[in-house]
Each structure stands twice: as structure tokens, then as C-alpha cells.
Structure 1
Amino acid sequence: MRRTTASTSAGLTWCCRRNRPGFGIRAMAIIGRLSFDGNEILARTVLEQMLEASVRHAVDPRGLFTAPGIALGWCGGAHDLGASPIGTSDHLNIRAVADSQLTNAGELRASLEREGHHFHTRTDAELVAHAYDRWGSRAFERLRGPFACAVWDERNRVLVLARDHVGIRPLHFALLQGHGVVFASDMRALLQDPGVMREWCPDGIDAYLALGYIPAPLTAYRRISKLEPAHFLIVDGRRLHVEEYWDLPVPSAGTAPHDVAWAVKGALKASVRRELKDHKSAALLYSGGTASCALLFAADSRAGVPITVDVDQDPSELARSDAAAAHLGRVRELETITRPMSSLVEELTAMSGEPVGDPSAVMQFAVCTAAAKYGEVALSGHGAAALWAPCARRRRLLSHLALAHRHDSAAVKDAYRLWDGEHRRCIYTRGFGWEVRDANPFVHHLERYASRAGCNAVDRTLYVDVRTCLPDNTLAIAELAASAAGLSLRYPFLDRQMVELAMATPASLKQRGRIWMHALRRLLAPQLPPRLLPSALRQPPRHTWLPAALTMLVPKMLLGPRFDGRGIVSRPALRQLWNEHLSSRADHSRRLWALVMLEFWFRNFIDGDAAAEPLEYAVLLKAA
């Protein structure tokens, strides 16, 4: 039987329902609105609609605080019954909501208690409220683990939004034409506010087609912005101020390879312990690659079952990874994808507020769905490649820099593009091309690259990746896939200590020749015989399902009048692109899939009528 507890007080309501068996932990979400008119009574119906758009199931707990001119809301995830999800300070002058999994909550709480603070719950939201009451905006640099939070300082009538150091948790906000600010961790919630129009952003779409994702602070919407990782936003009166509270360290010269391997071993084991301290067990996403093998070695038996999902993997590689797990004292479980491709794509596109151009997102969703059967929480190796493996894109950048006549800016653009600028602009309609004529999708990459002028080219590109592609693409996809599957992922490689260790390690110790993740392989070398070690070369993803899906979807979705009416891509240029792909003169799979996902996004979030036209999903089912 489901137990429900509800409580109300002046301006505060919350409802906590015990999770039904089998539903697991859902991702949390926060919402809120600040009016520049401090006496305005905010429409409660709109706020409740924002919460409803954020929850995955009707049983998710939720809470809402309202006062003249301000509202804070929270929903989802596991929550202590009877405890308000709205955190307050001792004097009730600070209120906070948090979508978080703080790994140093105990230490921070104990420190604040020694200074005289009194806690009534064990929630992160209450901890954030007390931390802000004590340290102000400097509190955020003390938090460890994923978080997106909002703090309301009632005495000074100041709203503060903050996001974790790497950008695991998303946070979006919109300025309501001089009337106020609305924010939400789930972009779909913002679209419930009537002041946030469903207007798509040409610069955001141009960036998506250039990179395959939309870099912060841009979004696919004109009125909505992303808060960047390791930043906080202060809304004081009608003034908005964004500030960075933390940055990655620069590499340390003179680091010895043995010292790095020893430090990685200790830091990774400590990170896994912190991630699992509140959980009796957790699954482990085990691909058999270098990062997941290192994670399996670092995790004790509480990490539960290592799970491999057969996603177009070579049988010999599956056998090797199984033997490697056994050598490390674990029994690997092998799962297969049982859901049709059509339902995976349909559910994933419906949950994402922005287009998702990477085909691996569909496979990650399938992996998370399979892992959710083994537990509510799973350890993941996401982030290890960005931190420890200078990849092909960075090698391509170095080759460009080696040419004396190439400028750094041109090289950076070539390294990060999905489409080069000339090719991309050639497929645009004349009207769209004119609209984005001054847009530069690479401006944030160039700024980050220039900020590390004292480092070598590889370390600079690693820094760019961790500050851009990692939060805006890699982690955005991982969190989307996990949330859609009802799974809570933990990222030991993205623990603050691990991130700082990785970025302080020179690139020369991370890759030797073509051997990537060299530092992590040194960690594994004493644990596994050479025949069981993962491949020393990066294995590109195989998407064997993609050609058939494109054959079915492109004519129906991209070559029809509906996509043509968007006014973005020229029909003759698109037909030429498709003909080149069909004749094998060029492989445009990633570009065509990005366009297909763009059209799915338009139908779901701009037109709002995807459910009325199930034909494309039926076509995709045949392709699967």
C-alpha cells in the first residue's frame, strides 16, 4: 500500500508518497519563479503544471513554497516522509530547493552544527539553506557531488541559482520581458509558463547543426538559457549577475607516472565509497572498456552486479570482458536489448527539451533500461574519456595546429565541428543563412581555449572538452537516458577530487602514442593479464541499426513538406546530401540523424502534435 503524508503551512505545501515497488529512484527536479513586483501573487496553477511536467510518475513526491513575488518547487526522487523538500535556515530567512546528491553532506552538516546551526531534516535542501546562510555565494564551492539549487534570501529579496562543478545536473532560466525570472532543472517545465514562448532560437539550431549539441548558455529556445557548470546566477531586483565559482586546475609539471597511478587508485576507490555511502548496493555499467574495468576494480562487493548490455558488440570482446570480470572476482550479467527501436526513440525524444543529435543516446537509453532491472542506482564510467583520453578530435586539432599557416581559431573549429562552416551554410535556406550570418557556434570553445594559453595544445583541448562537450553533450545524454529509464547514475570519475587529479595530470601521461587512457591502463596492468586487458585503441561506436532507420525515416521526415516548411535546410541541398549518402560517395549518417532528431524535436516541442502523427514511429518500428 502506498503511504502518503501531506503538510501545509503559510505558503508551503508538500506531498510525499512512498515509491511503489519496481519504480526505482527518479531524477529530482526543481522549479521556481521570481516576480520583479514583490507584491504579486503568483499563479499557483502554473507552478503546479511546471511540477507536473517535471515528474515521471504521478506517485513522485513534490513540494511548493509560495510568498508574494516568489515561488520555489521540488519534485521527484527519494525523500524522507514527513520532511519538507523546501530547506530553511534557522531564522527562516533563507529557503532553498535542490536537485542534488551531495557526497559531503555529512561533513558539511557536522561543520555547521559545530558553529551553532540546527538541522531538522537530513535533506540536501536544508543543508544548502544553512550553508548559504553561513557563507553566502561562497557556499557553492564547498558542495561536492551533483547539484542544481535555488536559494531565496527573503531579507534581501535576492534569488540565487547554482550548478555543480562539472555540470551533471542541468539548470535553465528565462527572463520574462522585464516582468521576472522563471527557472527549472527540466526544460519541459519552463515551457508550462505562459511567459516562456515556444520560439525556437536560430543561433541555437545553428550551433546544434555545427556541433551535434547546443553549448551553454545557448538553448534551442529564444527565451531560455542554460546556467553553465560551476556558475551561479544572482537576481537582485532587476539586475542579473552570473559568476564562476570554480575552475579546473592547470597541469602540474614533473609528475611521475608511478605517482599518477597510485593517486588514481586511491582517489577512485575513495570516490566510489562516497557515491555508495547511502546505498546498500548499486549496479555497475560494465562495457568491458578501460574505464569500466578500472571502476570494477575500485568498487567493492557493494557495487552489486556488473551489467553488460550487448549493443552491437563483437562476440570475442564480450568473452574477454566476461573473463576480465571473473578475474577481478565478479560475475558479469549479460543483457540484450528487447525493446523495439521505435519505442526507445519515441520516449527519449519526448523527454528531451532539446534535439539530441548523437545516435549513442538511443543505445545509452537501452543500456539504462536494462540496468534498472538490477537496482535503483548504477555506477557509470562517464567522464573518464573526457578527462583521461586525448581522443581523435584532439589529435585532429594538433594536426591542424602543426600547419604554420593555420590559426588556432580555425583549428579549434575544425576539431569540434559536426559540419564544417562552408558545408553547413551551403545546406541552409537563404533566409535562415541570413538570420545566422553573425552566429559563431564555436565562440565558447575559442574563449576556453584562449584562457589556457600557458598550456600545451592537448591540455588546452582537454580543458575545452571538459568545460563544453562533457556537460552539454556527454552528461546531458547520460542524465536524459537514466531519467527516462528510471535509473539514478553515479559518476565516480567526476568526483571533484578525481576531476582535479585528472586535470592536474599532464596529457603526456594520459596517452602514449595511440594508446589512450594510459594512466588508467597502468592501474589495471597489475590486476589483469595482458590477454584480458581492454583494447589500447579507442573503439568507435557501432550503430548497425542506423542505416535501416535512416532509409525509412529520411524520406518521410526530411524530404516531405513539413520539414521543408521549417525554412532551415534547402530541399535541393538536402536531396543532394541524401543521394551522396545512398550512393556511398560520403557517409552522412551522423548529419542525417541529427536532422531527423531535429524534426522530432520540432514536432514534440514546437508544434506540440507529435502524438497526432504516429506514422514516423511506425516507420521506425519497421526499420528496427
Structure 2
Amino acid sequence: MCAIAGIFDLYHQADINPLLLQRMTDVQRHRGPDQSGMYREAGVGLGHRRLSIIDLNGGQQPVFNEDHSIAVVYNGEIYNFAALMRELQQFGHTFRTHCDTEVIVHAWEQWGPRCVEHFRGMFAFALWDRRQRSLFLARDRLGVKPLHYAVLNNGHLIFASEIKALLTHDELSRELDPCAIEDYFAYGYIPDPRTVFKQIRKLEPGHALLIRHGSPLASPRRYWEVPFTPTTIVSQEQAADELLARLREAVRIRMVADVPLGAFLSGGVDSSAVVAMMAQMSSTPVNTCSIAFDDAQFDESAYALAVAERYRTCHHRQYMQQHEVALIDQLAQLYDEPFADSSALPTYRVCQLARQYVTVALSGDGGDENLAGYRRYRWHLHEERWRSMLPLRLRRPLFGMMARCYPKADWAPRPLRAKSTLQALARDTVSAYCDGISIMKEDLRAQLFSPAFKRRLHGYQAVEVLQRHAAAAPTEHPLSLVQYLDLKTYLCGDILTKVDRASMAHGLEVRSPLLDHQLVEWLSGLPPELKLRGATGKYVFKQALTPYLPQSLLHRKKMGFSVPLADWLRGPARDRLVRSMRSPVIADSTIFNQETIQRLLQQHFSGLRDHSAALWSLLMFESFLRQLQDSPGQILQQQAA
């Protein structure tokens, strides 16, 4: 894995400041500790930090074509690069290295902007074409690798793998985006293409941006979509066999590396499946790593150990301690914008553990989204059956009134939370799903935000993110629709962001076989009843894995990779939480209603309510604001109320 950075003068051909470009590149050194490279010519500058994985001696970047008219800086892995190299050689292209980066250069010469359609892998790259005076930015189909960009008032476009590189530029505004803040407190992350900074954008997954010198900036172009085209299946057995064959191939091509390779092993179905496939294809014991907890409700390490023993892996386990909340400020600095997924804590530690033994680790990310593994999918389908019985114009007043009369019972098991169910039945499909996945509900956000901040939102609501994607969805099936929404938002905005920043902080590359785009396309077309049958998610996957994994693992209750957050915030993190909520940056931000924050604290500490998700999001936001304010030359700018 690597880091990229660059500057492109949209309208002139002025010299690019080499010190600025070096600073943008080197602030991302953690992503590429092995080598640094830079290229400048009139009007453009490209920077690169390299983590050497393939062709250790020949892969330094930028990489050029024969006459140096094309240059590329790239972060990622193209797994079909050898086949593409042979294909491009038949077209007459000559290669000087055995590195996948050079494939991008010649693929651009051969196919232009459509080159991305030929790549199988994870990538974010910037390609400069001197003849066309154009810059081409592209990001992989599922958003495994990040790419951020901003257009400055001086006519420069700047881009980088991480936001922190862009923040080194003095011309960049630090003004925060109110809509992004609303999104953050709803989802716990900021969905693409927004960032917390108004001037910075994320290039969305499956999108590319072609910028021509002297022309107005065009909108990014989508080059790939999750198809959800029905797959022809003869039988359940045939589907299971083909799924396994496709997974094996996705794992096999991700085991190519010139450095030590291993896997994360959480004890869940997905990572266990990946390890089982790896063990069958490896001539030496697979290195596996897992995190354990003292709290049995969150500890999956016994299941991980069972898989490790079955496949005789070289297994490494580390316990997560309660004092790990001390990582809060480190995580806030790592993610560059507010990020409230508390599983970032164990993810950081498992990446740190893995890097002691390997440079590349395979993960099970993507299984829940592709194969309907989340419990919320089951509840959503149950509610959809009720919603289908009455039109919205009748449901909204009827169930809305019933919900207002029913007492709130967040502490109760979900079947007894009738108020939440009634509220969901009073909404349309997308609004109900948004409310169900929100870490802070719409009514609570309305209480949390100050009147001045709500005026800055101009009526914007976080549900609009899902509504935008739902309007473009290639499927109407209720299960497939919410899977599509998660693939477009939660997967890339939360899961993949979490893993990318945590792994890159330790110079570790993570590869996700279940996010192979060809596998994703095929899985999207499977009949929904093969993914979720009754209360069983990943149904066909579990059937396929029966010979490889114990039944006790395949059919146990899903735990997820989480931490005992509610107890931590009442215990070892309590003092830190109270101090943070009294921090001047919270009050000075003019975003929050202080009475609501104090009520959340009191109710959580007393045990009356579990506000851990909301309080953790506030804690991480405070750390972000404080670090932004304290950074030299970076002043927190607030719009007038």
C-alpha cells in the first residue's frame, strides 16, 4: 500500500512549489514507509510514498511510459496485472518492470479513461497525460482505497490519499460543512462524497474524474455499479459450490506478495472462511491474528482459536484492555475527520499486532453486506411486510399516533421496543431504514443541535444520503435495496475507512477477498432467499462452508467486532468523557445544546439509558475539534449563526 498526493494548476502552467508537494507527501509517510518519489513539470506535481509489496526493487513511483509523457502515482493492488501485461504486450506495449503500477500507464495509452474497467483490485491513482494536458483521478469499485481532492481559490486542484495531506496547504479553507456534521451524528461517519470540510470532497467508489487543463472542472463519472442482475441458479447446492469456487479464486489472487502474508481471524464466519481457504492453498502455516476481550459478551477469541487449531495456523492473540480508551486522541488524528465507530479501537490493535508478523493481511470484510449477515436486515424485512399492508398516507398518522403514546424502552430486547417499531411503520422504507441504523435518532439530533446550527442546515437531513442512493438503485427488492444502500454508504464510509486508516497507521496492507468486484457482482444477483432465510443470514454461504468450519461457529449468534462501550464510558473513560463535554471547543463551536449533553451524561451514568453511541460520537467530535484548533496555521472557521 502507498500514499499519493499532488497539485494541478487548472488554468495556468505555473511552477509547483516543491516544498509544499514534499510536505503533502511526507505527512502520509505512515502509509508508505519504504520509499518516496516526486515528479514536477509546469502546472503539475505528483508525490508518492511507497510500501513495497510486489517487485520490491522495481516499483518506485511515479512510473512513466517510454517517453515520459505519461506519469502515474498509485495506491493499491491490481490482482490481474500479469494477465493485463500480457494483453498489452500483444498490442505492442513494452514493460520495464514487473510491477502492477506500470500496467496503469499502458492501459491508459490503450484504453484511455476506460482503463479502469479492465482493473481487478483495489486502487486509487492519479495519472498525468502531458500530450492531452489532463489529469485523471480514479478510485476502485468498492472504495477500498481512499482519494480526497479540493479546488482552491487560486485555481489549483489538490489531491491526496488522506485529508491531513490537503490540510498542509495554506490556501485550503478549514470551514466545516454543517451537512457533514448532521450526517456524522446520524451515521457515525461522513458518507461520500462529503468530508467534514466544506472545500474537500471524497472521490466516490467506482468513480473517475478527468480534468483537462483550461476547462471547467467536470463532475466525477461513475464507471461501475453493483448490478443486482438475477443470477441463473439451478439449485441451492450448485449456488453453494460456485460461491466457494469464486471465493477460493478471490483468495488465491490476493495471496500473491513478495513479503510475509497472513490474515485477521476474528472468529466470525467471514474471516474464518478466508483463513480456511488460505490454509488449503498455502504450503506453510498461515499467520493469523485476533483480539480478545475480558468481557465474555464481546469475546470471540475462543472461536478464532478453534479455527486456528483446525487449520494449524501460526496464531497470535492479544487482549484489549479497558485503558485502551487512551487511544481516543490518536484515533481522531488518524481519521482526520470525526469517526465514531468504536470498533476502530480493536481494529487499530489487531493491525498493530499483525504488522509484527506480516506486511499483508487478508480480511473478511464485505461478507455481511454481500450475503445479508446483519441482524438489522431481518428486522427490516419484518417491518416491510407490515408496511406493505397499508399505504403510507394511512400508516403515517395511525402508527405515528400509536408511537407517541407508547413509552420508550431502549433498554428492552428488540421485540419489546414497540415504540421503535411503531415509529418505523409510520415511515417510508428508506426513512425507516435510516432511523434504524442511526447512532443518534432524528429527534435526539434535533435536541442536541443548537438553534443557530439548525439554521445553518437549511432543512437538510441525513436521510437524504440514503434517498439519493435509493433513487439510483438497480433493484426494488426490500432486502437487496438495503444491501445496496449499505454497499454505497456504510461499507466504504465506515468499514473500509476504519480498516484503511488503522492498517496504514502501521504500514500494513489489508486485502478483502469478499470484496472482489467479480464476486460482488455475482453475489448481488443471487436470489435473496439464499442470503437470508428465516432468521439465518448468509444462508447459502454457511451451507457451502459446512465441510470447512464447525457448526458451533457457523450457527452461533452474531457478535460483531465491538467493544463494551457502555461500561467503558461509565468506568475508565468517565472522567475523560466529562472533561471533553465541558471542553471550551464544544461550547465555542455553537453547534450543541449544552442542556441536552448534560442530560445524556446523567441518564447514561445512572443506567437509566444507554447513550454510549451518542456520547462516543460526541467524544470523538470534541477530540477532532480540539486537534483542529490546536494545529499550527489551522483555524477553526465557523459560519455566522
**1:36 counterpart (5, 10, 20):** 10
* Secondary structure in 2 matching 1:249: coil
- Structure 1 residues 357-366 or 387-396, which shifts more? 387-396
**1:526 counterpart (547, 550, 564):** 547
2: CA distance, partners of 1:81 / 1:282: 19
* Secondary structure in 2 matching 1:599: helix
The answer on 1:125 being equivalent to 2:136 is no
2: CA distance, partners of 1:89 / 1:374: 36
**1:249 counterpart (227, 231, 247):** 227
Asked if structure 1 preserves the Cα contact closer than 8 Å seen for 2:269 and 2:553, the reply is no
Which residue is equivalent to 1:486? 507
Trace 1:28-427 onto structure 2 (pairs within 5 A).
Answer: 28-56=2-30, 60-78=34-52, 80-81=56-57, 84-177=60-153, 179-236=155-212, 237-252=215-230, 255=233, 256-279=235-258, 281-299=260-278, 300-301=281-282, 302=284, 304-312=286-294, 314=296, 318-330=301-313, 332-337=315-320, 340-401=323-384, 402-403=386-387, 404=390, 405=395, 406-427=427-448
> How far did 1:233 drift?
0.9
Cα distance change, pair 339–530 in 1 and its aligned pair in 2 (3 A): closer
1: CA distance, partners of 2:616 / 2:558: 26
Cα distance change, pair 131–313 in 1 and its aligned pair in 2 (3 A): farther
* Secondary structure in 1 matching 2:547: coil
Asked if structure 1 preserves the Cα contact closer than 8 Å seen for 2:180 and 2:194, the reply is yes
Cα deviation per residue 1:500-526 (whole Å; 9 max; x = unaligned)? 222122221112222222222112212
> How far did 1:373 drift?
1.6
* Secondary structure in 2 matching 1:355: coil
Q: What amino acid maps onto 1:582 in structure 2?
A: F
- Structure 1 residues 450-459 or 430-439, which shifts more? 450-459
- Structure 1 residues 508-517 or 449-458, which shifts more? 449-458
Which residue is equivalent to 1:452? 473
Trace 1:429-444 onto structure 2 (pairs within 5 A).
Answer: 429-444=450-465
Which residue is equivalent to 1:497? 518
> How far did 1:576 drift?
1.2
Cα distance change, pair 131–253 in 1 and its aligned pair in 2 (3 A): closer
Cα deviation per residue 1:291-318 (whole Å; 9 max; x = unaligned)? 1221122113357222222134639954
Cα distance change, pair 347–539 in 1 and its aligned pair in 2 (3 A): closer
2: CA distance, partners of 1:542 / 1:479: 19
2: CA distance, partners of 1:505 / 1:57: 37
Cα deviation per residue 1:344-368 (whole Å; 9 max; x = unaligned)? 3333222221111011101111111
Cα deviation per residue 1:199-234 (whole Å; 9 max; x = unaligned)? 222111111011111001100101100000000011
> How far did 1:142 drift?
0.8
2: CA distance, partners of 1:532 / 1:467: 29
* Secondary structure in 2 matching 1:592: helix
2: CA distance, partners of 1:59 / 1:465: 33
* Secondary structure in 2 matching 1:581: helix
The answer on 1:463 being equivalent to 2:446 is no
2: CA distance, partners of 1:58 / 1:228: 23
Q: What amino acid maps onto 2:64 in structure 1?
A: T
Cα deviation per residue 1:477-531 (whole Å; 9 max; x = unaligned)? 0111111233211111111222122212222111222222222211221234534
- Structure 1 residues 134-143 or 507-516, which shifts more? 507-516
* Secondary structure in 1 matching 2:589: coil
> How far did 1:122 drift?
2.7
* Secondary structure in 1 matching 2:317: strand
> How far did 1:51 drift?
0.9
Asked if structure 2 preserves the Cα contact closer than 8 Å seen for 1:396 and 1:415, the reply is no
Cα distance change, pair 82–252 in 1 and its aligned pair in 2 (3 A): closer
- Structure 1 residues 437-446 or 169-178, which shifts more? 437-446
Unaligned runs of 5+ in 2: 396-426, 634-641
> How far did 1:84 drift?
4.3
CA RMSD in angstroms, aligned pairs only = 2.5
Cα distance change, pair 83–296 in 1 and its aligned pair in 2 (3 A): closer
1: CA distance, partners of 2:81 / 2:359: 21
2: CA distance, partners of 1:449 / 1:134: 35
> How far did 1:83 drift?
5.3
What percent of counterpart residues are identical? 28
TM-score (normalizing by structure 2): 0.86
2: CA distance, partners of 1:50 / 1:341: 30
* Secondary structure in 1 matching 2:532: coil
Q: What amino acid maps onto 2:286 in structure 1?
A: G
> How far did 1:328 drift?
3.7
Asked if structure 1 preserves the Cα contact closer than 8 Å seen for 2:285 and 2:313, the reply is no
Asked if structure 2 preserves the Cα contact closer than 8 Å seen for 1:328 and 1:527, the reply is no
1: CA distance, partners of 2:33 / 2:478: 50
Cα distance change, pair 504–481 in 1 and its aligned pair in 2 (3 A): same
1: CA distance, partners of 2:76 / 2:194: 23
* Secondary structure in 2 matching 1:101: strand
> How far did 1:386 drift?
1.5
2: CA distance, partners of 1:74 / 1:280: 20
Trace 1:544-559 onto structure 2 (pairs within 5 A).
Answer: 545-559=568-582
Asked if structure 2 preserves the Cα contact closer than 8 Å seen for 1:32 and 1:47, the reply is yes
The answer on 1:511 being equivalent to 2:511 is no
* Secondary structure in 1 matching 2:351: helix
The answer on 1:581 being equivalent to 2:560 is no
Cα distance change, pair 107–339 in 1 and its aligned pair in 2 (3 A): farther
2: CA distance, partners of 1:41 / 1:303: 52
- Structure 1 residues 89-98 or 364-373, which shifts more? 89-98
1: CA distance, partners of 2:22 / 2:133: 23
2: CA distance, partners of 1:71 / 1:591: 42
> How far did 1:584 drift?
2.0
Cα distance change, pair 549–389 in 1 and its aligned pair in 2 (3 A): farther
> How far did 1:270 drift?
0.9
Asked if structure 2 preserves the Cα contact closer than 8 Å seen for 1:252 and 1:504, the reply is yes
1: CA distance, partners of 2:502 / 2:300: 24
Asked if structure 2 preserves the Cα contact closer than 8 Å seen for 1:289 and 1:535, the reply is no
Q: What amino acid maps onto 2:371 in structure 1?
A: W
Cα distance change, pair 539–244 in 1 and its aligned pair in 2 (3 A): closer
Asked if structure 2 preserves the Cα contact closer than 8 Å seen for 1:368 and 1:482, the reply is yes
* Secondary structure in 2 matching 1:111: helix
Asked if structure 2 preserves the Cα contact closer than 8 Å seen for 1:53 and 1:189, the reply is yes
Asked if structure 1 preserves the Cα contact closer than 8 Å seen for 2:332 and 2:623, the reply is yes
Cα deviation per residue 1:147-189 (whole Å; 9 max; x = unaligned)? 0001112112111100001001000000112612111111110
TM-score (normalizing by structure 1): 0.88
Cα distance change, pair 320–342 in 1 and its aligned pair in 2 (3 A): closer
2: CA distance, partners of 1:59 / 1:137: 30
1: CA distance, partners of 2:72 / 2:230: 38
> How far did 1:559 drift?
2.4
Cα distance change, pair 239–371 in 1 and its aligned pair in 2 (3 A): closer
